[in-house]
Amino acid sequence: MARIKVTGRAKNIEYAIRDVIPYTEQLVKNGQKIYYLNIGDPAAFDFKTPQNVKDALSKAIEQDDNYYSPSEGRADLREAIAKKEKKINNVDISADNVLITEGISEGIQMILAALVEKGDEILFPGPTYPPYISYTRFFDGTPVSYETIEEEGWQPNLDDLRSKISDKTRALVIINPNNPTGAVYDRKMIQEMLDIAGEHGLLVLSDEIYDQITYEKEFVSTAYLSKDVPVVGLNGFSKVYQMTGWRLGYMYFKGEGKQLDELKQAVEKECRIRICANTPVQIAGAAALNGPQDCVKDIVDRLKQRRDFAWKRLNEIEGISTTKPEGAFYIFPKIHEVGSRWKTDMEFVVELLKETGVLIVNGSGFDPVYGKGHARAVFLPPIEELDEAFNALEQFMKKRKKP
């Protein structure tokens, strides 16, 4: 008998967005139609990767650009990212301060691996993108959520944020536009958060992967507003360029000082041990940034219609209410009878799935404190499919209406 011991850190990993998928397996076998509203994957619906990007990938492979590239990323892609950040987000960085990752999730893993030791705390918005919680725990740290206020469009509660800072806090995470709520933070809010970070000598991790997917509100980059607070920006190609399965992301370092230099060097070492990001995909990524950008306006225009429909339709369902997302492609409704009719939001999600085939994600998976009692859904499918899913949800809620 082999003596195999699985670590607690691996056994306890959670990722709510995909942890709900196993519940669909038997339903699919039985022929049940599933409405996949759980994963933020535009390429899985009717948003297609730009043709020039697909052509660049094919050409790279045909030309035998299939070798290991530099661990920090190809020079042409890093330069294209620096130019994009300047043009789109007014962020001045050099290509030398950009590192290429295999999706933004790898970037989150790498930066937290370089920051967190046992007992260290990472501050993140509640609710949040789950890997910030899971990876902090994975590296024996303590995830700490600061409140975002639903009645104020899920804007951060700055008093609560300030109260959560301790001598163990290693970084403040800002996710703007926010996943899962779709909130967009304005210039004043970002500046106040930077001021708090500066007062306490904190590094800021700014997740901006939805930077170009906003509706009414203007996006303002954290790194653009920062003057003397060090910022690590995290971004990628999955959402704007519909390159989800290609796994291409990046991080950049903005600021001065020996500690930030040491942090960048530590992440570079992590890049080396995983060799490199996918070389042909990096070539295609440069083509995405350097090529036509009309696809960006197209995806935003189409998503805005679907956002408006989802927001209106969900608020028409008795027992459900939701704020209007200002960015990204998620909506985070409150399920009012969680805690009474359903003990937990996970119980609600599973029961809804089994009866209707509508697959959404339990809100507590995005933070057990500020996410509970909610659920996250994507509004990526065409309106006709969203209508079917929300009609099924409405019938589900009517059947369980209290007499």
The number of domains in the chain is 2
Q: Is residue 59 part of a domain?
A: no
What's residue 403's pLDDT?
Answer: 57
Examine residue 381 and say whether the peptide bond preceding it is cis (omega within 30 degrees of 0): no
Q: Is residue 58 part of a domain?
A: no
In contact, 205 and 163? CB cutoff 8 Å: no
Q: Is residue 54 part of a domain?
A: no
What's residue 402's pLDDT?
Answer: 63
Residues 340 and 353 in one domain: yes
**Count of all residues that appear for the chain in the document:** 403
Residues 182 and 223 in one domain: yes
Residues 107 and 194 in one domain: yes
Q: Is residue 229 part of a domain?
A: yes
Residues 157 and 100 in one domain: yes
Domain boundary among 259, 290, 321: 290
Q: How far is it, in rounded angstroms, from Cα 71 to Cα 271?
A: 5
Q: Is residue 2 part of a domain?
A: no
CATH of the domain at 22: 3.90.1150.10
What's residue 6's pLDDT?
Answer: 81
Provide the whole-model pTM: 0.94
What's residue 238's pLDDT?
Answer: 96
Q: Is residue 202 part of a domain?
A: yes
Residues 329 and 216 in one domain: no
Residues 99 and 202 in one domain: yes
Q: Is residue 403 part of a domain?
A: no
Residues 177 and 326 in one domain: no
With H, G, I as helix, E, B as strand and everything else as coil, classify residue 391.
helix
Residues 256 and 228 in one domain: yes
Domain boundary among 258, 290, 322: 290
Residues 170 and 142 in one domain: yes
Concatenated DSSP letters for 107-130? HHHHHHHHH--TT-EEEEEES--T
What's residue 26's pLDDT?
Answer: 85
Domain containing residue 359: 8-48+295-398
Domain boundary among 247, 267, 290: 290
Residues 231 and 345 in one domain: no
Q: How far is it, in rounded angstroms, from Cα 13 to Cα 136?
A: 11
Q: How far is it, in rounded angstroms, from Cα 180 to Cα 196?
A: 24
- Segments of the chain with pLDDT less than 50: none
Examine residue 177 and say whether the peptide bond preceding it is cis (omega within 30 degrees of 0): yes
Residues 313 and 328 in one domain: yes
Residues 202 and 170 in one domain: yes
Q: Is residue 60 part of a domain?
A: no
CATH of the domain at 251: 3.40.640.10
Q: How far is it, in rounded angstroms, from Cα 201 to Cα 390?
A: 46
